[in-house]
Amino acid sequence: MPFSDRGGSLDRISDDQLLKLAREASLKAHAPYSAFPVGAALLSSDGTVFTGCNIENASYGLTICAERVALFKAVSEGVKDFDTLALWAEKPSWPCGACLQCLAEFAPDLRVIRLGEAGVEERSLKELLPLAFHLPSATENERE
């Protein structure tokens, strides 16, 4: 299945290709208040890529980050296992705490990459959010 904006599959996508998809996603951002467009490309374990961009709102608390857009698109399509998240912004930044917490729910071992001043930079989700909040799921409670 070819890559599409809703999610698509690519054979063994490289970090450079994933970052390119994140950059392309940033071009769709709605960021009239911050002028800080961000793009994300989330690679699932099965090779499917979901992209997202930040979408701002005049009521700023209703703004959603690119990372969560990509994640929520994936989960809404039934995909819940992820390998790598690529981010692109003109001023490199890592995901915010809210995005990290949402990602930790599905991919505690996620690889996060961005294009920084020295090239591709990589961190694990656990490095970025070492003490993620977790609750036992209903199925875990049933086993106890």
Whether residue 67 lies in the annotated active site? yes
The contacts of residue 138 (CB under 8 Å, 6+ apart) are none
pLDDT of residue 35: 98
Residue of 24, 56, 67, 144 with catalytic role = 67
**For the domain bounded by 8-143, which CATH number is listed?**
3.40.140.10
pLDDT band at 4 (very low <50, low <70, confident <90, very high): very low
What is the C-alpha separation between 86 and 88, in angstroms, rounded?
7
pTM of the model: 0.88
d(CA 104, CA 34): 26
Question: pLDDT per residue over 81-113, tens digit each?
Answer: 999 999 999 999 999 999 999 999 999 999 999
pLDDT tens for 48-71 read 999 999 999 999 999 999 999 999
DSSP state letter for 77: T
